Amino acid sequence: MKNKKPVFFIVLLVAVAMAYLAAFGLQIGSFKIKGAPDIRFGIDIRGGVEAAFQAANLDRKPTPRELEAARSVIETRLDNKNILDRDVTIDKQNGYIIVRFPWKSDEKNFDPDNAIAELGETALLTFRDDDKNILVEGSHISNSAPELDKQTNQYVVSLTFDEKGTKLFADATAKLVGKNISIYMDDTLIQTAVVNESIPSGKAQISGHFTYDSAKALSDKINSGALPFSLITKNHNTISPTLGSGALDVMLEAGILAFAIICLLLMGYYRVPGVVACISLLIQTSGQILALSIPQMTLTLPGIAGVILSIGMGVDANVIVSERINEEIRSGKTVRSAISAGFKGAFSSVFDGNITVLIVGVILMIFGSGALLSFAYSLLTGIFFNFVAGVTASRLMIRSLSEYDALRKPSLYTCFSRRRTL
């Protein structure tokens, strides 16, 4: 774009739009963008539910291996729902699975039964013939996913069995060629398909008049039904927030006040680069809030620490850039040359600082769990938006502003520092 003057206003418009969406969200008909009011907070901030599950219709105590398998399934379900602040433990002696997780963001009645329903069906998935004889249990399915059949151009549900499931399914399909095989969740029929041929490969497809959404819904149900046994809730209770119900409001007020003070200091000290820094920080903060609210990632107290740390890194990046521009102007360069040299000189410092934290964040995401994942996620999204806003958006805005005659005075790009460059 040869005329760079409009760029500042385009970026400013994007920043205002992001800030509005982050603060209030947006709903048009069934389309909704979730904002800060819809963030799902962790147990430490908003409380949650603790539920103890035990095996149903099992005439013996579950083995430790079966309990571990059930725990793994429940953890996977919680992870798929982006519920990072969760704790799933097993009581091998009594055969219990104890689950602790936070309330949903839109929970108003704080009803534990509704909250537990979010875990999905805790029923046993089975494949049966027309006489309802169980042929294969869902615990032998290693994966299910929606796929587009390129020959028919229709969506199907793919199934992949483990070693034992492959043999059981091969034997079952060999006996049922031309007949039905049905999928049950406990005694509820969820799908029936006709067996066209014996399937010894351990991979199968369920065809039908699926859309992508219906195929995904069925595959999700199959994946979530891979429990080794049905579960019933033994007891449940609510968990009070560790920090108290008023802590969130206090943190929010403190955060807004701190952000306002930082912006005033940046604008007063660095002038034009300070104004640009405030807009880039607004983009970064809004982006982080949307990255938490839209996918409903759980925000815990460590997660808030990650957001604050990221904003601090954003302030640091803008200060480095502003100082470099100030130094270049004081060395005698023009405003445009100083801006280019300032960003070029500051990039290595900003990049080194962020890439180090990025590596730490990735390690925490891979090996961390629970509230630590919330911290790592906040940190990683903060680094991403720091590069987008603190480096790219800031560069675009300040170059655009320097195109205006009234904003070409070098004094508008120098700070009030009393330091002398020798």
In the chain, where the domains are located: 6-41+240-412, 48-239
Spatial contact of 416 and 269, defined as CB atoms under 8 Å apart: yes
pLDDT reported for residue 109: 75
38-93 pLDDT, tens digit each: 999 988 888 888 888 888 777 788 888 888 878 877 887 787 778 888 888 998 88
pLDDT over threshold 80, residue 226: no
pLDDT reported for residue 183: 80
Give the range among 29-38, 171-180, 245-254 with minimum mean pLDDT.
245-254
| Contact residues for 317 (Cβ-Cβ < 8 A; gap 6+) | 346, 350, 353, 354, 386, 390, 391
Residue 106: pLDDT band by 50, 70, 90 thresholds? confident
pLDDT reported for residue 60: 82
Residue 123: pLDDT band by 50, 70, 90 thresholds? low
Q: What is the mean pLDDT of residues 125-133?
A: 84
| Contact residues for 16 (Cβ-Cβ < 8 A; gap 6+) | none
pLDDT over threshold 60, residue 419: no
pLDDT over threshold 90, residue 127: no
354-399 pLDDT, tens digit each: 898 999 999 988 887 777 888 999 999 999 999 899 889 999 999 9
pLDDT over threshold 90, residue 26: yes
CATH level 2 (architecture), domain 6-41+240-412: Up-down Bundle (1.20)
* DSSP strand pairing (231-239 vs 48-55): antiparallel
pLDDT reported for residue 1: 52
pLDDT over threshold 80, residue 260: yes
Q: Using alpha carbons, select from 344, 346, 348, 332 the residue that is nearest to residue 414.
A: 332
Euclidean distance between CA atoms 226 and 7, whole angstroms: 53
pLDDT reported for residue 321: 93
Stronger pLDDT, 105 or 208, i.e. the higher one: 105
CATH number of this structure's domain 48-239, picked from the four choices 3.40.50.1820, 3.30.230.10, 3.40.720.10, 3.30.1360.200: 3.30.1360.200
* Chain position carrying tokens 């929606």: 146
pLDDT over threshold 60, residue 421: no
Euclidean distance between CA atoms 410 and 421, whole angstroms: 16
Euclidean distance between CA atoms 420 and 37, whole angstroms: 48
Q: What is the mean pLDDT of residues 304-327?
A: 92
pLDDT reported for residue 328: 92
pLDDT over threshold 80, residue 216: no
Residue 22: pLDDT band by 50, 70, 90 thresholds? very high
Q: Using alpha carbons, select from 7, 32, 13, 5 the residue that is nearest to residue 293.
A: 32
CA distances from 278 to 233, 274, 281, 311, 326 (A): 51, 6, 5, 11, 17
Give the range among 18-22, 70-74, 97-101 with minimum mean pLDDT.
70-74
Burial of 178 (0-12, 13-18, 19+ CB in 10 A): exposed
pLDDT reported for residue 61: 84
User: Looking at residue 402, what DSSP letter applies?
Assistant: T
Residue 143: pLDDT band by 50, 70, 90 thresholds? confident
pLDDT reported for residue 8: 94
Q: What is the mean pLDDT of residues 251-269?
A: 92
pLDDT reported for residue 369: 73
Euclidean distance between CA atoms 44 and 241, whole angstroms: 5
pLDDT reported for residue 248: 79
